[in-house]
Amino acid sequence: MATNPPVFIVGAGRSGSTAFHHAFARHPHVSWVSKILDVLPSGERLNSALLRGLDTPLIGAAISRGLIEPGHLKPSEAYAYWERIAPGFSEPFRDLLATDLTERTKSNLQSAVSRLTVDGRPTPLIKITGWPRIGYLQAAFPDAKFIHIVRDGRAVVNSIMQIDFWEGWRGTKGWRGQDMTPEQSARWEASGQSFVTLGAMELSDMFDAMVTATTLVPSTRFLELRYEDLCDDPAGTFETVCEFSDVELTTGFKQAVIDFGFRNTNDKWRRDLTSLQQRQLEAELAPHLTRWGYELAFGDAAT
């Protein structure tokens, strides 16, 4: 069975990549990893059976109408599965680079992605969040394509701080960034050890790694999308995505994307945070906000 180059969805957590992933997974020609492999990392045959079932008239129609949508049938990052294939992949303390990839892991990854595809769905679609891991993945898949979903970092940090697995409340022992630089440490102390500032520093480290990683991939194999633009024009955005990914924009898929119901909730950070916290957040993220075209709320006061 012929397999097309894999398409990796990358980006910081809470950036809208899950919604994008779930929508893209509705395309009839892509294969993806389900939550089955979260629970049963060795359950590749069950995952394949699920994908084949989607293409049967009875099950496919029931799912498309929302009559069947058990949790395990949803697309997933399935880190338990990838950790089994590539030890250290799920939670490295820094970005993974080409020089971190062993020959054994390279072979494991290539075999795994090949096994994930089923007849009629030749394009593997894989989502990861956090560190981009682009250099590492490109070393395993030289023809891979990458779609970076970026979102207003102020909304991202506000969302991250409300999830139960964010450990920034433990201070630098819990954050997922690299070791603090002296400059970062000084800014954090000056902020009164603000948790908002710490969350922004963590995200900034992820953004820095993404900016570096994008230079490793030819422009023909890297697509960057703002989540806000996706919400404004889902059909137009996915027209670009399908062309980039070399999959057909079918009439049915286009309608599925329109019906998906993307929502932009970026304004929550303004309601949820105090004026001081908003300023601290923007001060730390200002360079990245400007880079991706987000307007600063506090202008020069934030820099």
Over residues 182-211, the pLDDT tens digits come to: 999 999 999 999 999 999 999 999 999 999
Residue 14 lies in a domain: yes
Q: Is the pLDDT of residue 65 over 90?
A: no
Report the range of poorest mean pLDDT among 89-93, 160-164, 169-173, 281-285. Answer: 169-173
pLDDT over 70, % of the chain = 93
Range of the domain at 293: 7-302
pLDDT-based confidence at residue 301 (cuts at 50, 70, 90): very low
Taking only the tens place, the pLDDT of each residue in 73-110 is 789 999 999 999 999 999 999 999 999 999 999 999 99
| CATH code (residue 284) | 3.40.50.300
Residue 79 lies in a domain: yes
Residue 267 lies in a domain: yes
Half-sphere exposure of 243 (CA within 13 A, CB side): 8
Residue 227 lies in a domain: yes
| Whole-prediction pTM | 0.94
- Identify the pLDDT of residue 74: 87
Residue 1 lies in a domain: no
Q: Considering its fold, how many domains does the chain have in total?
A: 1
Residue 93 lies in a domain: yes
Question: What is the distance in angstroms between the CA of the first residue and the CA of the last residue of the chain?
Answer: 54
Residue 2 lies in a domain: no
pLDDT-based confidence at residue 303 (cuts at 50, 70, 90): very low
CA 221/CA 187 separation, integer angstroms:
37
State how far Cα 232 lies from the chain centre: 19
